[in-house]
Amino acid sequence: MAATTLEPSLSLQINRDSHQNGVVIEEIDGLIRVYKGGHVERPLIVPCVSCGLASELGVTSRDIVIDKFTNIWARFYVPKSNGKLPLLVYFHGGGFCVGSAAWSCYHEFLAKLAAKAGCVIMSVNYRLAPENPLPAAYDDGFKALMWVKQEAISGASEWWSRQCNLSSVFIAGDSAGANIAYNVALKLSSNSTTLKPLGLKGTILIQPFFGGEARTDSEKYMVQPPRSALSLAASDTYWRLSLPPGANRDHPWCNPLARGSSRLEDLRFLPIMVCISELDILKDRNLEFCADLGSSGDPCRLYPYTEVVAGCCLAYLDYHTSMDKFDFGSSWLAVGFCLNFPGQWCLVILPLAIHVA
């Protein structure tokens, strides 16, 4: 298969002795290279950083191991507050194959988000494909929520939990992380007692990474910027590396609208916000998802970014269309929606050109 290229400047020299690992069978240039023998290389396109933060931000961050056996850990962000705050469980993007809770872009974004939105954030570092194909990431996401549940049941008074209102929990993520958030929420919604005493109040899906065998118009015709982080070829490669052997893009984990997928009616009682970029190749697929979501519950409301309801703290986090703003630092996530918005479906389309320095 042909290599998928982001841009020549992003192509890093991986390993001069990489021929020793055999033939390259999958590659997204500058992000991941997979060899026939199973060896995987991931250039450090984004630096990993420690949990340290500037004191003036007023946010404390620490890393906590969730499961020593699978090496799942989470980075917590706790802002200064006189009262208890909602807990936002966040899953990073990266096509299930790359990314980390320690990536500098996520660390900076989530630290500022915790301060601006007024919530404790638990950023989960889940296992990656192809070494750990799906459902490993979903299992890790679910395990992270169960770990929080056990903390609540045990009455543990940790430095982060003392600041949390655990009856007000939200799940969020971008790209593949939004896919994880959706599937974890779907699993939790099938049994309302699973999370007790935690209270799941809403889900935020930012440019959710879905796919399908049939191409949408935006996948076929959308012209991507030269430094796009997600081309159609890259999307297909991520799915080949992530899905179980023999599965195609109409597998329910990839295409939630395919025959045999879980019924979206299971989520009808859970407030959901879906953030979509107007220039994302996945725009039409996400719109179809929202239309089906709306037909399963309350009507899906469209809020262009200029018309977002009062009280929402809007974030523009365009993961798929620009590597130039890959630091996620432009503005703020609509966490305010799930913190204060009534139990309704909600859709936000975010135009590309609203970056703020």
The structure tokens listed for 183 are 């599937």
Give alpha helix (H) positions in 14-157.
Answer: 104-117, 136-154
Token pair for 43: 């250039």
Angle 182-183-186 (CA atoms, 0-180°, nearest 5)?
85
Structural contact between residues 249 and 216, judged by C-beta atoms closer than 8 angstroms: no
What are the tokens at 42?
A: 């991931």
Least Cα distance to 352 among 250, 232, 207 occurs for 207
With CA atoms as reference, report the closest residue to 350 among 261, 24, 322.
322
Q: What tokens appear for 315 in the block?
A: 């974030």
Q: Which residue has the tokens 């966040």?
A: 90
Find the angle CA(343)-CA(319)-CA(29) to the nearest 5 degrees: 145
Nearest in space to 88 (alpha carbons), one of 124, 60, 63: 124
175 is catalytic: yes
| d(C-alpha 55, C-alpha 80), whole Å | 11
Measured CA to CA, the distance from residue 357 to residue 349 in angstroms comes to 20
Q: Residue 135 in 3-state DSSP?
A: coil
Cα angle value 130/179/65 (rounded, 5°): 65
Beta-carbon contacts of 41 under 8 Å, excluding residues fewer than 6 positions away, are: 14, 15, 18, 32, 33, 35
- Residues linked to residue 350 through DSSP beta bridges, in sequence order: 277
Catalytic member of 161, 175, 235, 242: 175
Q: How many CA atoms lie within 13 A of 325 on its CB side?
A: 19
Tell me which residues are annotated as active site. Answer: 175
